[in-house]
Chain A
Amino acid sequence: MEAAAGAAGTRKAELQIRFSEFEIPPMQDVLLVGRRAPIGPEAARRMVDAVCPDQYEIITLDHPVFEAAVIRRPLLRLVPVEKLVAVLIEEVGPLAAEDMVVKAQVKAVVQVTREVEL
């Protein structure tokens, strides 16, 4: 009897489940979209418009590796876009490839020191 069951075989599926909260927005502060990445700037724009409307700016880049940057708007109130993009590309450039979409966390802190007459 056992031999018959063994011959028929048994199949079981094991489920491994991990739960975590989906991040909104899912792309953090900046996405740099490679020229041959699986998504392009238009797809990125539609994604962010759907998931977090009015919060991101799509910047088209004239760069050999990246064709666009998706940047959280509040960041652009603190740092001019061209300076921010230049820094990001300079830092990630050597590590990146055309087929990548790179996400970056950027914290901008404005430091102010002023002297006042006493």
Chain B
Amino acid sequence: MNPSVGDIMTGPPVTVGPEESVARAAALMERERVGGLPVVEDGRLVGIIISRDVRRAHPNRLVADVMTGEVVSVPPGTTLWEARELLERRGIERLVVVDDAGAPVGVVTKAALLAELSKHVDALTGLPGASHLRCEAARLLEEGREISVIFLDLDNFGAIDKELGHARGDEVLRVVARVLRDAVGEGEGLLARYGGDEFAVVTDRPREEAKRLAERLIRALAEAEWPAGLKVTASAGVAGGRRTGGRDQGTAAETVANLVNMASLASTAAKRAGAGVLVADQVSLCVASA
């Protein structure tokens, strides 16, 4: 289940009517300690009034004369990353969450959203975490794009941790993240630290391109400079990028889980075989139409 605005919204929101006064809206904002109020008429969201509007306007004015009529609203299922993209693109500080009937059911502020998103960033490497990768993969699938998942597993990382200590291990992981980040081109895919010594990339490139990207990542790690004279290598598995089944079964999330699993198993097989990169065969992309 992808983290969504419905998980973090505050609600039900305190609202104000368009025929109420700005003074009333200001009093409500102060009482509720909020920076904005959805404006609701006949149960439907018709605008939003924020503290800046209130400061600029005469208190006698109608809320209808001061509010922003074009409210950016989202359904509760909107992912945190979609919500952030929307906030940044529109240059706004809050989103009103509405139900199917257009009635406001909550509010998400930028501050709350960023605080929640920080939980999905790996603190050690600064890379997105697994949840972000899964969410991005599901989004691409739901947009009707084919995806490939590259799963990278460091070779013998356990030995580094055991023999050189966790601090050195953490240092290695930070270097791995930097090397991989530099190797994945702009717009080529989303790189994430999947967990432990596992990294993953989701890309909308076809399988052959994904395989070449995986080989490039493996090569970049092999050629990188490592602390304490270490030699760090990785094995990779690639899955997806070639639709072999219909899109009539399962959800995008299930398809993503399936792809990650196959790529992970392929990386394990590559490690055993000392093959560098292996591609998972017989990949079936099955996702329910939205």
Contacts and interface: CB of A to CB of B under 8 A. Distances in A.
Contacts of B62: 39-40, 42-43, 46
Interface stretch (B53-61, B79-87, B210-218): B53-61
B57 A41 contact: no
Contacts of B64: 40, 42-43
Majority secondary structure, A binding face = loop
B208 interface: no
A99 interface: yes
Interface residues of A, number: 10
Chain B, interface SS category: loop
Nearest to B65: A40
A37 interface: yes
Interface of B: 18-19, 56-58, 60-62, 64-66
A38 interface: yes
Contacts of A36: 56-58
A21 B16 CA distance: 36
Interface in A25-63: 36-43, 46
Nearest to A43: B62
Contacts of A46: 19, 62
A66 B18 CA distance: 21
A38 B60 contact: yes
A42 B58 contact: no
Interface centre among B19, B58, B60 (most CB of A within 10 A): B58
B245 to A, nearest CB: 55
A41 B58 CA distance: 13
A99 B56 CA distance: 11
Return the 7 tightest CB-CB contacts between A and B, nearest first: A40-B65, A42-B64, A38-B60, A42-B65, A43-B62, A38-B58, A40-B61
